[in-house]
Structure formats: structure tokens, C-alpha cells
Amino acid sequence: MDIAIEKSLQQYKTHIIDHATLSSIIFNNGYTGINDKINKLKRKGYIKTLKRGLYLHISPFSQSSISKEIIANTMLSPSYISFDYALSYHGLIPESVFDVTSATTKRSKSFKTENGTFSFMHVKKELFSIGLTIKSTKNGNFLIATKAKALCDKVYYTKDIQITSKKSMINFLVDDLRIDVDELADCDMNIFIQYFEISKSKKIKFLIEMLEDIA
């Protein structure tokens, strides 16, 4: 490993490097065969391809953790983490979720990498900015749905479910998602209300009515 290149790459705490930045680092360290050098770094395992034009730096001198959440935010922009991964992150569902699920205003797509699968579901632009929060890690920050927003996204965008009453909503949350409804007590009701006012979804309406009953 070229020490000068490694020192330059270590400046990027997220470990995520785009092609233009990596090319500039290689060129500034005296190499002219940019693509050849990139391929050599890949063969030696010092960088991995996340998608075309985006790489993950694997330092041989550092064991610092890599944030899958930051990778997800970077893989497709604009996006935020939501759905099953966010529900698990907030402790609403008992299962661990390894594939990172996100929402985006762009078309739905999925990326399979050595660091896991990163899937993105299209959401309406009008719903995108409601109920988001920024979380900080030693590698950087990432954008994720709050408890309330993640639940709204999951309920609203899950197809083929028949929610026709508060009771059927409770059954969906408890039986299908295995959510402990007591964990919803501290959710921001304003997020549910904003979501409903924009989506006009009957499913979200029943969700609000159910939450009002247990408040």
C-alpha cells in the first residue's frame, strides 16, 4: 500500500470516496495510470466498489467501524433511512434487520454490495421531509426517520394489507410487524397528523385513532 495514498484516504472519516476524489488523490501522489492504480487497490482489498463511481476505503492500518447508515445516505441522494431498518434501529420491532432500507424521491432501486444490500423505495416528495432526524457517529452523520415517520412509511407503503378499522390496524402492528404498541407512547403525534394531512390515507387515519386510544 502506498503510504501517501493511504494517509490521504484516511482523511475521509466516512470511508466513502467517489471516483473523482480517488482519482485526484492518486494523481496528486504521482501516478498517471489512474484506472490501473484503482484496479490494483481493489485487487489488494484496500478499496471496494459500492456502486459505479463510489468506493469504500478499507484501511490496513485502522480497525475503525464503517457505518452502513452513512453508506446508505451516500448511495442515493436525497434519501433517508426508514421502513424495517429504522423500525429495528428505534427498537420498535424485535428482529435485527441487516439490509438497510431507505426512502427516496427518486425511483425505487436496490444495490447489493459486500457490505450488505441497500434498498430504496420511492416516496412522495410532499412526504419526504416530515419527521426526520440526524444521528451522529464518529464516522459522520446520517439522516433517519423518527419512530413516527418510519411507522407511517411502513404502514402507508406496505401493499396488500386490508386496514379498515382501528382493530385491524392493531392486528397489523402486533401480529404482522410484532410491534410493542407501548413503545409508541412517546411518538410525536404531530408527525402522524402531518403525514395524514398530506397523504389523506385511511390507513394513517386509523393509525392515529389507535394511538389516541392508547395515549
pLDDT given for residue 60 in this prediction? 85
Mapping DSSP to helix (H, G, I), strand (E, B) and coil, where does residue 91 land? coil
Region of poorest pLDDT, from 23-27, 104-108, 116-120, 210-214: 210-214
Q: Which residues fall within 8 angstroms of residue 213, CB to CB, at 6 or more apart?
A: 166
- Virtual CA dihedral for 167, 171, 177, 179, nearest 10 degrees? 70
pLDDT in tens, 140-176: 999 999 999 999 999 999 998 999 999 999 999 999 9
Overall pTM > 0.85: yes
pLDDT in tens, 86-137: 999 999 999 889 999 999 999 999 999 999 999 999 999 999 999 999 999 9
In order of their start, the domains of the chain are 3-57 (1.10.10), 68-214 (no CATH)
Q: What CA–CA distance (Å, rounded) separates 146 from 155?
A: 14
